[in-house]
Amino acid sequence: MLAEIKGLNEECGVFGVFGHLDSAQLTYYGLHSLQHRGQEGTGIVVSNGDKLKVVKGEGLVSEIFTENVMEDLKGTSAIGHVRYATAGGGGYENVQPLLFHSQTGSLALAHNGNLVNANFLKHQLETQGSIFQTSSDTEVLAHLIRRSGYPQLKDQVKNALSMLKGAYAYLILTEKELMVALDPHGLRPLSLGCIGNAYVVASETCAFDVVGAEFIRDIRPGELVIINEDGITSEQFAFNSTKSICAMEYVYFSRPDSNIQGINVHTARKNMGKRLAVEAPIEADVVTGVPDSSISAAIGYAEAAGIPYEMGLIKNKYVGRTFIQPTQSLREQGVKMKLSAVRGVVEGKRVVMVDDSIVRGTTSRRIVSLLKEAGATEVHVVISSPPIKNPCFYGIDTSSKEELIASDKSVEEIRQLIGADSLTFLSTEGMVGAIVKTDGTEGFCLGCFTGNYPTEIYPDTLQYYYQK
């Protein structure tokens, strides 16, 4: 479904290169392929072995990095970031990578995920005289590193990481090194690849395909990888780590051409659709998906159910940032945007409409109504994930608990609210099984569905989420 109308936003994507003359260019193309993970700001820090240089701004990769800008970004290693503003708010200074200079060297940070003890640590650091540049939780790591007493940067970083709680895939760039760290639960995806002798890291493997890199392996929970001119080394900085990757990465966030933990996202989604066809068999004439993220599941459903897949909904491709929203009065007259129902396909038909999730329910109601106005005689909504009942503390900008329609409504109540003829959610086991073909639900963070979070949640974090 469309992120912008859904209230479910990934906050970040990261990309890094070490040891390639075109490091900034590769980062540009890599970030571009991760643009779906964040459209509000982007930045690249490049090192020429001697100095770090940053360019960042609020906007899309292709808006911030013009040819003139790229010509000035030369170096052999680089890290980049695309962001959706969640914790910390917007503004230029919160755009990542963050770059810190000191008389002993520079340090750049790019972070995907969200810490749950950031406010606690910030308060401690400020009491000791630290001044924070940003309102982002990412910056905490820099201060912890600078205040760590260890003489070696590697030990400073390990010591600092050990104080963080929450979700993080961190890229750390200095003049001479690229460090890559994943939180002890591996909540966010992070993969390692190579182009010849150069190493690349990225939030998703689709970035490797785009830059012509070869996939090596996924970064492990609690692992710190250090790449410098002596090669690549790896250490565990946390040992009680248990993999709990975010299930919504498969359901909604990641690109269908990415593989996470070795599993193709499109295939996982198609399997979710097939499972749904088994869990929710419906007599209908056509199956349609809500573009773009639900198409795979819809095709899977159609295939398994033996009902033709049709393009019953179409997205308006050119809806950009500057697009003028229709006034209330125009909307009442029927002016639509973003999504249209295809009358020629759904008129007089019983329609199965496949979507990936329901957050506030308003969009689902609108789409059901679009289909009915276009002549659908029945609209059966099937959702390729379980009901989202709880907020995410790890970097997904779900609405607050009160706004989540499933937090206090039954499936039947939701069905009535969205006006569907039937409504089915995929079971938790069905979803996990579609991804990994096992019976249990091990290895995934299912917090937003079940309310069981892999980490402790700090009171001030809870407060932040409930104040929103």
CA distance 442 to 240: 16
Report CA 249 to chain centroid distance, whole Å.
Answer: 6
Least distance in angstroms from the C-beta of 446 to a second copy: 23
130 part of the interface to a second copy, by CB under 8 A: yes
Q: Which of 132, 174, 279, 419 binds a second copy (CB under 8 A)?
A: 132
Tell me which stretch binds a second copy (CB under 8 A): 222-230, 339-347, 349-357, 398-406.
Answer: 339-347
Q: Which of 3, 12, 64, 161 is catalytic?
A: 12
**Omega of the bond prior to 97 within 30 degrees of 0, cis?**
yes
267 part of the interface to a second copy, by CB under 8 A: yes
Least distance in angstroms from the C-beta of 260 to a second copy: 10
Least distance in angstroms from the C-beta of 467 to a second copy: 15
Helices 118-127 and 459-467, interaxial angle, to 10°?
A: 110
Question: Nearer to a second copy by C-beta: 335 or 462?
Answer: 335
CA distance 241 to 239: 5
Least distance in angstroms from the C-beta of 411 to a second copy: 29
Q: Which of 239, 324, 439, 459 binds a second copy (CB under 8 A)?
A: 324
Q: Which of 104, 152, 240, 467 binds a second copy (CB under 8 A)?
A: 104
Question: What tokens appear for 401 in the block?
Answer: 């608990």
197 part of the interface to a second copy, by CB under 8 A: no
Question: What tokens appear for 150 in the block?
Answer: 């260890």
Closest CA to 426 of 348, 341, 354: 354
Question: What tokens appear for 285 in the block?
Answer: 């004439």
Q: Which of 185, 255, 360, 415 binds a second copy (CB under 8 A)?
A: 255
Q: Which of 154, 343, 401, 409 binds a second copy (CB under 8 A)?
A: 343
Structural contact between residues 423 and 414, judged by C-beta atoms closer than 8 angstroms? yes
The residues in 26-65 that bind a second copy, with binding defined as CB under 8 A, are 26, 28-29, 32-33, 35-36, 39, 60-63, 65
Annotated ligand binding at 130? The verdict is: no
12 is catalytic: yes
Structural contact between residues 227 and 203, judged by C-beta atoms closer than 8 angstroms? no
201 part of the interface to a second copy, by CB under 8 A: no
Site size toward a second copy (CB under 8 A) is: 90
Annotated ligand binding at 246? The verdict is: yes
111 part of the interface to a second copy, by CB under 8 A: no
Cα three-residue angle 290-296-298, rounded to 5 degrees: 55
DSSP 10-40: E-EEEEEEES-TBHHHHHHHHHHHTGGG--S
381 part of the interface to a second copy, by CB under 8 A: no
Residues 6+ apart with CB under 8 A from 39: 60, 82, 84
Least distance in angstroms from the C-beta of 54 to a second copy: 9
Tell me which stretch binds a second copy (CB under 8 A): 20-28, 180-188, 381-389, 394-402.
Answer: 20-28
The residues in 403-442 that bind a second copy, with binding defined as CB under 8 A, are none
Residue 10, CA distances (Å) to 109, 157, 231, 389 in order: 18, 26, 32, 17
342 part of the interface to a second copy, by CB under 8 A: yes
Residues 6+ apart with CB under 8 A from 83: 11, 12, 38, 40, 41, 42, 94, 95, 96
Cα three-residue angle 263-232-115, rounded to 5 degrees: 60
Annotated ligand binding at 136? The verdict is: no
Classified as helix, coil or strand, 237 is coil
128 part of the interface to a second copy, by CB under 8 A: yes
The residues in 71-90 that bind a second copy, with binding defined as CB under 8 A, are none
Q: Which residue has the tokens 């019976």?
A: 439
Least distance in angstroms from the C-beta of 103 to a second copy: 6
Closest CA to 172 of 150, 157, 187: 157
Tell me which stretch binds a second copy (CB under 8 A): 155-163, 211-219, 228-236, 390-398.
Answer: 211-219
The residues in 148-177 that bind a second copy, with binding defined as CB under 8 A, are none
Strands 263-264 and 259-260 turn out to be: antiparallel
384 part of the interface to a second copy, by CB under 8 A: no
Q: Which of 86, 156, 259, 294 binds a second copy (CB under 8 A)?
A: 259
Q: Which of 206, 225, 227, 418 binds a second copy (CB under 8 A)?
A: 206
Which residues make up each annotated binding site for Mg(2+)? 293, 355-356
Catalytic residue set: 12
